[in-house]
Chain A
Amino acid sequence: MTIPDVYIASLPMGATPPDWPGGYWWHWLFFSVVLIAFLLVMVMAAIYIERRGMGRMQSRLGPNRAGPFGLLQPVADVIKVLLKENIVPDNADKIVHWLAPVIAFVPVAMIFAVVPFRDGAMLVDLDVGILYVIAASSIATIGVFMAGWGSSNKYSLLGAMRNVAAVVSYEIPLALSVIGTVLITGTMSLNGIVLAQDIPYILLQPLGFLIFFIAGCAEINRSPFDLMEADSELVAGFHTEYSGMKFALFYLVEYAEAIVISAIITTLFLSGWKGPWLPPWLWFIIKTLIVFFVMVWTRTTLPRVRIDQLMSLAWKFLFPLALINLFITAIQVLVWPDGLPWVAIIINIAIMVVLVVAWSKFFKLGWGRLEV
């Protein structure tokens, strides 16, 4: 057993805190520290993977000066950003401007409370874990909108408005695509979902996975849906007027959100911490980073969509497909109440291919030119 494994095993783990006096607070303190540290380290890993991976994909080297293979680049970035001057525009709403990065960051960190690192290793095993995730993830939008509004900058405002529009629309397919998984497992607890996954649900719920991945990318503004900070249009979108540590917090939020969505996808569709040979927490990290790498991959590959195309993608494409996916899954659960057989995998993948092809044939994205 590795050291973290021993450490975790020595704890009275599980969703319920230990029953010795003060056990609840010990449990709470330990996990808060571990989760925040884990999130920060993962963000650093994510930044490193993104910059080096993008460098390789774009036929350049990427950062390679700080430390071996540029491994210390995130550390150097953090030090740089901490030393920078914090500039607040004269016309900005000072309190809102100050509060926005905090409000954006806290809910993202909160989400990790319900993500299991191994069987029962989580801050709290909520019965409604998925609802909690979806609810918490949409709070971050308020922070972003506060940043856009408080900066008194038109680019920021445009970016923030785009973000609110996108997140409100993409919440719906995001939530609907998860319900398929919930129907099969019969539980909303993330640990329960992992325990129920004998085979990864990406096979049983391919359409659900696809919708969740796309909607997740749109929700956290990863390319090709990075409209709220579209660098070629809005300079930097909602954080145009931020500098120093407050900018760093937004930067952190951006990657933390990506890591959180990757972790949720891992938990819901890639059987979470389950896996042979390696310790569960390592499996969890590896899978999370693989999902994140796919996001980096799409970012380097695709151009950005337009705002009206983003909206029609949510309402004309993802929303009906999520409903159909829900319907089909419900029928399958009705037909096979004791768990879905292997043949369901083939059926579902075939259904996904047919539906995606049909929808992309018949629906056009966007509105085109308006008469002005």
Chain B
Amino acid sequence: MTLKTEPFVLNFGPVHPSTHGVYRMRATLDGEVILDIEPVFGYLHRGIEKLAEERTYTGFIPLTDRLDYISSMSNNMAYCMAVEKLTGITVPERAEYLRVIIAELQRLANHCIAIGSFFNDAGAYFTPFLYMFREREKILDLFDMLSGQRLTYNYMRIGGFTQDIPDEFLPAVRKLLDTLPKFLDEYEFFIKENEVLLARAKGVGVLSREIAVNCGISGPVARASGIDWDLRKADPYSIYDRFEFDIPTCENGDCYDRYRVRFMEMRQSLRIIEQAVKDIPAGPVRSDVPHLVRPPAGEAYAHIESPKGELGFYVVSDDSIAPYRCHVRPTSLINLAALREMVRGWKVADLILIFGSIDICLGEVDR
């Protein structure tokens, strides 16, 4: 006997516990198997790029916090670098070191959320998530010390920082460097060989090297597929060329590898912070920049390796106090490009897992 069956459409989102915000996927299902998905963006669109044209160059910095709000400091940094490049401002030595320390701390905080919510999507009921959040809190405390904020910092300025770090900041970072590796070892010990996780994540949602390159995918997602591409090495910005660190890559490009790459990156970030804290010089943290930055007419593009991948800011100036155009190269949006290829043929549960393993932030997708 053959039953007449037909595929049906199921909406994941925009209000759904596992879409990491207000992403929406219209999935066509055959029972549990995913035949096709169609992403729908824009539920969190705030017109941030347009808003930039109405503000001064400095006045746009708080809005960059709202792009990828999981790693606001990285957004600050990329935008400030773009304007500095446009204006020709150099950043003092101490500020460069601080930017590296802060960017790497931000990477740690971001990967804490990425790994934690990955396990949550896998169905581990909040336990791995909350332990990661506990450690993230410590990093947020550090940022709180710097800027008085815990999520949207608005700490960096064009040409440096708002103010110098407090005296207790560097000892606190050293303390974190002592405790975090132990936590990571312990965490990895409990998670790495978990039979259910291996069954769920290994070989699931494979992103091949070719598709990753063709879709312009960057960051840990690309490195899990074996692409040795990290802007900190490929196009060293700031002072990353002074530090010793590796770019971890994996070969398979499945969900398990994407989780593992993030874990290895966290250890490398700790290495960078350790070196930077050791070498950080004294001096000013902000170069002489006028209150209203007025770059000469022209354009500049600066990109950094944000925790999620290549984050770029393209700023065009028409010799006024506000940008003529400001475009963001959103890591999260471009990393989502291959989602359809990755999830076709897998089950509903895998869709959530694969989606979680890409680690997106809706603030950046919709802007």
A residues within 8 Å of B by Cβ? 54, 57-60, 154-155, 158, 161-162, 223-224, 226-227, 230-235, 299-309, 360, 365-366, 368-372
Contact = CB atoms under 8 A, between A and B. Distances in A.
B30 A303 contact: no
Interface string B325-367: 0000000000000000000111111111000000000000000
B345 A371 contact: yes
A368 B203 contact: yes
Contact of A224 (B8, B10, B32, B196): B196
A197 to B, nearest CB: 32
Nearest to B121: A232
Contacts of B233: none
Nearest to B346: A369
Most buried by A among B31, B119, B124, B195: B124
A300 B348 CA distance: 22
B76 to A, nearest CB: 31
B127 A58 contact: yes
A21 B16 CA distance: 60
Interface residues of B, number: 42
A59 B131 contact: yes
A223 B123 contact: yes
Nearest to A60: B130
B124 A233 contact: no
B349 A372 contact: no
Contacts of B32: 158, 162, 307-308
A58 B352 contact: no
29 contacts: A57-B127, A58-B130, A59-B131, A59-B134, A154-B11, A161-B31, A224-B196, A226-B123, A232-B18, A232-B123, A233-B123, A235-B16, A235-B17, A300-B126, A301-B124, A303-B124, A303-B194, A304-B123, A304-B349, A305-B196, A306-B350, A308-B32, A308-B347, A369-B346, A370-B345, A371-B345, A372-B33, A372-B36, A372-B344
B29 to A, nearest CB: 8
A345 B321 CA distance: 83
B124 A304 contact: yes
B91 interface: no
B326 to A, nearest CB: 36
Interface in B86-133: 119-127, 130-131
Nearest to B351: A233
Interface in B190-213: 194-197, 199-200, 203-204
B172 interface: no
Interface in B1-53: 8, 10-11, 16-18, 30-36
Contacts of A60: 130
A145 to B, nearest CB: 16
A232 B17 contact: yes
Contacts of A230: 123, 349
A350 B203 CA distance: 33
A300 B125 contact: yes
Contacts of A54: 125-127
Contact of B126 (A58, A155, A158, A162): A58
A302 B128 CA distance: 10
B364 to A, nearest CB: 22
A231 B122 CA distance: 10
Contacts of B195: 360
B204 to A, nearest CB: 8
A304 B350 CA distance: 11
A236 to B, nearest CB: 9
A233 B352 contact: yes
Q: Which 10 A-B pairs have the closest CB atoms?
A: A304-B123, A303-B122, A303-B124, A232-B18, A58-B130, A369-B345, A370-B345, A306-B349, A300-B127, A372-B345
A365 B199 contact: yes
Interface in B44-98: none
Contacts of A306: 199-200, 347, 349-350
Nearest to A366: B199
